[in-house]
Structure 1
Amino acid sequence: AYIERYGTHDLAGLVLVDAAVSDGADGVTARAQESAAQLRMLALYQAHQPEYLRGMMDTIISKPQSDGTIDGLVDTGMKTPPSIGTGMLVADLFGVNRTAALKKIDCPTLIIASAKSDELARQQAGAGQIPHARLEKIEDAAHAVFLDQPERFAELLEKFVKDLTTASPGSTP
């Protein structure tokens, strides 16, 4: 939404982390089974928010975390009322098709993805639509790549930012 509204001309760079760009309602038809599964999960979220959030954390984080990390994330998630969270997810997953915005990104872009992501093929396709994109896959990480492999994640970010400060305009760090 930001890119569609403001563009990227004022950004030095952009980082996208393990997320395919929504193709909106078009994706429902293209991935009917996946869409149905996501909608079923939203019903669970509505009825059993704490259990859903804990299960989600177990799915998106594959490495053991320090004491209290998962509880803290679940507690934070509980601050969003289920009706609001569901509305946000439906709008994000099934609302606007944002794939056309990828071609509008005109700044260096780092896409960091889990090598085992179910969305990897879509992320690779999205990277192909961005003129100055670089896709980096992080091995042995689930969706929360920054928690599962924090050192590798930080290394990629630091290199990207460093390259932004030394790159000539229009080049890809």
Structure 2
Amino acid sequence: MKLLQGLAVTLMVALAPVVYASEAATMGRGLGEGYVNTDNGARIHYLQAGQDSAAPALVLIPGWTLTASLWREQLQRFSDHRRVIAVDSRSQGASSIMLTGNTPERRAQDLHELLASLHVDRCVLVGWSQGAQDVAAYVQQFGTASLAGIVFVDSPVSAGNNELDLRKAFSKAILTALSRYAADPADYSAGMVRSIFLHPPADIDAVIKQAQRTPPAVGAAMLVSDIFGADRRPALQKIDRPALVIASASSPLLDAQRQMAESIRGAVFITLPNTRHALFVDEPKAFDGALALLLRAADSTRM
């Protein structure tokens, strides 16, 4: 934990499934992809880099309607000494579109099956935005026995229908967004994707196209389930591993994320300036520096 506390100061000062695998380098040197079939018929796509080692694997989970490809820099940066896996959640990216199970709770089961299929018995989970809900749902269902560390990226864990009282302005914004999404899903998706970057990636049009692949009815159901479907705060009390909450300094939910970090035993809270919601794309050096020290703490944690 001293490593993470030092990091916080430094940054504040400075700023029965089946696996189908392909080892072709699809996005760059050493990156491959594959699929896992879940027990309820979803085909989950993932990207991976690196090799199995004594270090826990790093598992990266994207946000709402977005894809594993946004983690490309982290896939390459951290794969020298560990296995790194980025997941396309069901109904997102290259994973199958599903009419059921589009909830954090079912996505946590998908993740559990994927990790079992890939023989990952110890990992650090990193959940960004919607992915933060998936991480909380995973901890709630499966505990922390297989986890070496946990990272929540720019999102507090949902309080379920309590959100309507706790964060009235935020809840109103979500409900307003749902009506705009239903009225013109293509335009809404394009605007949403562009809004989350301060420094958009070169392939921003491809990212938008991927986000638009999620059917609007499915996307709306996902968003409602993410924000209002369950109170996932009890999962935070189960976290007994190195934990990091890393947020954009411009986040409208900054205070909620700070409070969440305070409720996790030993967690470190860090903010990154000059970023929007996709802070690991906007400021990859600062983000990777924070993640690297979390991984050092996780590597030293024994089961």
1:52 and 2:188 equivalent?
A: yes
After TM superposition, the score normalised by the length of structure 2 is 0.53
Give the aligned partner of residue 267 of structure 2.
133
Q: 1:115 aligns with which of 242, 249, 260?
A: 249
Q: Deviations over 1:13-53 (max 9, x none)?
A: 11111111101100112222321221111111122112111
Is the 1:44–1:52 Cα contact (8 Å) retained in structure 2?
Answer: yes
C-alpha separation between the residues in 2 aligned to 1:71 and 1:58? 9
RMSD: 1.6
Deviation at 1:63, TM superposition (A): 1.8
Give the aligned partner of residue 218 of structure 2.
84
1:30 and 2:166 equivalent?
A: yes
Q: 1:153 aligns with which of 283, 287, 290?
A: 287
Q: How many correspondences in the alignment?
A: 167
Give the aligned partner of residue 100 of structure 1.
234
Give the aligned partner of residue 17 of structure 1.
153
Is the 1:53–1:77 Cα contact (8 Å) retained in structure 2?
Answer: yes
Whichever residue aligns with residue 148 of structure 2, its letter is A
Q: Deviations over 1:86-112 (max 9, x none)?
A: 001001111101112111111111111
C-alpha separation between the residues in 1 aligned to 2:169 and 2:251? 17
Which ranges of structure 2 fall in alignment gaps of 5 or more residues? 1-136
Which ranges of structure 1 fall in alignment gaps of 5 or more residues? none
Alignment partner of 1:12: what SS?
A: strand
1:41 and 2:193 equivalent?
A: no
After TM superposition, the score normalised by the length of structure 1 is 0.90
Whichever residue aligns with residue 70 of structure 1, its letter is I
C-alpha separation between the residues in 2 aligned to 1:64 and 1:88? 25
**Greater strand content:** 2
Deviation at 1:155, TM superposition (A): 1.5
Is the 2:241–2:298 Cα contact (8 Å) retained in structure 1?
Answer: no
Alignment partner of 1:164: what SS?
A: helix
Whichever residue aligns with residue 80 of structure 1, its letter is T
C-alpha separation between the residues in 2 aligned to 1:13 and 1:37? 32
Asked which structure has the greater RCO (Cα within 8 Å, sep 6+), the reply is 1
Q: Which runs of 4+ in 1 moved over 6 A?
A: none
Moved more, 102-111 or 57-66: 57-66
Whichever residue aligns with residue 116 of structure 1, its letter is S
C-alpha separation between the residues in 2 aligned to 1:33 and 1:162? 38
C-alpha separation between the residues in 2 aligned to 1:139 and 1:84? 33
Is the 1:115–1:140 Cα contact (8 Å) retained in structure 2?
Answer: yes
